[in-house]
Structure 1
Amino acid sequence: MHITSERRLDDGVLVREFTLGEIPGTLWTPASAAPAPLILMAHNNGLPKADARLVARARHCAADGYAVATVDAAGCGDRPRSTADEQARADLRRALRAGEPVDEIFESVVGPLVENAVPEWRTTLDALLALPEIGGPVGYSGWLALGIRLAVTEPRIAAAGFFAGGFVPRAQREEARQVTVPLLLLLQWDDEGNPRQRALDLFDAFGTEQKTLHANLGGHTGTPWFEAEDGNRFFGRHLR
């Protein structure tokens, strides 16, 4: 892991930009000297790690005593996209404008994103847990499709907070039955383009006996800020 920059915020949180091979990431660590539990935080792929909503959530968690890390997956942020990626996204935009069915196009876009992102997140996790200021255990927050795969394949993840917005490929809908860690699912009731019944069916499918659903009125980006407080309390129950 190569640290490319670091700065100390007014609340004492240390923000470090890093690279791990071709993977660019950001790590926020609290001011306390004790090793902190870690939360991996991910947006739906296609949004950069510098997105203002993710940064605000990360700073809030770090101020509450967690180490928080995020990375830009392949094709996300400043990382280049392949010709196939660009064509699939162009097909998706065209279908959305035309009002055509898009599930199969989403499958062709999101499925490979998950497959490619999971090994990079696990490599990043290896490097982060080697740092003395991070003591585990590990939580996950954010992108639902990626989080399902990580919760199933990565035994170091002890709890997961998922955002229901965003397409979940068939493979991850099947894998949801294998998720056994405690989870919190956030659902925007009026999320445009993400049918609530699909999210409710997925919540029902999760195999864990410790699952909580928070539903709020509003569209895709309207998640109330108090959910960040509830999220910290959720992770506090399972990571501390």
Structure 2
Amino acid sequence: MDFTSERRLDDGLLEREFTLGEIPGTLWTPESAAAAPLILMAHNNGLPKGEPRLVARARHTAAQGYAVASIDAAGCGDRPRSAADQQARADLRRAMQAGEPVDGIFESFIGPLVEKAVPEWRTALDALLALPEIGGPVGYSGWTALGIRLAVAEPRIAAAGFFAGGYVPRAQREEARQVTVPLLFLLQWDDEGNPRQRALELFDAFGTKEKTLHANMGGHVGTPWFELEDGGRFYDRHLK
């Protein structure tokens, strides 16, 4: 892990950019952290680690005593996108806006994206846990499809918070039954990009005995800020 920049923020947090080979990432740590618990924070596919909503969530969470890390998956942020990936993203957006079936596009594009992202997140986790200022346990927050796969593949994850998505690849819908860590599932009732019924069925499928569903009115980007506070209490129960 090579740190490429370091910035002390006004709220006392340390923000560092890093690279792991071709993987770019950001790490936020509280000023007084000593072997702080770690939360991996992933935004939905295609959005960069520097997306303002993710940065705001990361800084708020780090201020509660956590180390928070995010990386850009292949084809996301500043990482190169193939012509095929760009076309698939455009086709997916067009179909969703037109109200057309998207399952075929979604499976062929998002499924492989998840499979590529998981090994990179595990590589990042190895490097992060080797830092003296980061201890354990480890939590996950964010993109549902990636979170399901990572929670099944990575035994070091002790709790997970998912931003509910009705569109999840078939493989991850089946893997949901293998997720056994405590789970907080956020659902926007009027999410224009994710079918509500699919999200509810996915919540029902999770195999964990400790799972909580929080549903709020509003569209995809309307998750109330107080859910971040509730999420903090969820992670405090399981990571501290």
How far off its partner does 1:165 sit?
3.2
Question: Which whole-Å deviations, capped at 9, do the CAs of 1:85-140 have from their partners, x for residues lacking one?
Answer: 12222322343354321111111111011000000000000000000000110000
Q: Kindly, what percent of the aligned residue pairs are identical?
A: 85
CA distance, structure 1, for counterparts of residue 144 and residue 33 of structure 2 = 32
**Aligned equivalents of 1:4, 1:131: Cα separation in 2:** 16
What is residue 144 of structure 2 aligned with on the other side?
A: 144
Compute the TM-score of the two structures, normalised by the length of structure 2: 0.97
Gaps of 5+ in 1: none
Q: Which moved more, 1:29-38 or 1:209-218?
A: 29-38
Aligned mates of 1:77, 1:58 — CA distance in 2: 17
Q: 1:148 and 1:33, CA in 2 relative to 1: closer, same or farther beyond 3 A? A: closer
> Unaligned stretches of 5+ in structure 2?
none
Alignment of 1:56-135 (within 5 A): 56-135=56-135
Aligned to 1:176: 176
Q: 1:129 to 1:27 in 2, by over 3 A?
A: same
Q: Pairwise CA RMSD of aligned residues?
A: 1.0
State the secondary structure of the residue aligned to 1:95: helix
Moved over 6 A (4+): none
What's the offset of the Cα at 1:167?
Answer: 2.3
Encode CA deviations 1:37-85: one digit per residue, 9 max, x unaligned: 0000000110000000000000000000000000000000010111221
Distance in 2 between the 1:159 and 1:48 partners?
23
Q: Distance in 1 between matches of 2:166 and 2:11?
A: 33
Q: Aligned in 2, Cα 1:98/1:219: closer, same or farther, shift over 3 Å? A: closer
The answer as to whether partners of 1:44 and 1:166 remain within 8 angstroms in 2 is: no
CA distance in 1, matches of 2:40, 2:74: 17
Residue identity matched to 2:171:
A
SS at match of 1:229: helix
* SS of residue paired to 1:219: coil
Work out whether residues 167 and 198 of structure 2, in 8 Å CA contact, stay in contact via their aligned partners in 1. Answer: no
By how many angstroms is 1:9 displaced? 1.0
Report if aligned partners of 2:182, 2:210 keep a CA contact under 8 Å in 1.
Answer: yes
Query: Normalising by the residue count of structure 1, what TM-score does the alignment of the two structures yield?
Result: 0.97
Cα distance, 1:30–1:90 mapped onto 2, change above 3 Å: same
CA distance in 2, matches of 1:194, 1:97: 12
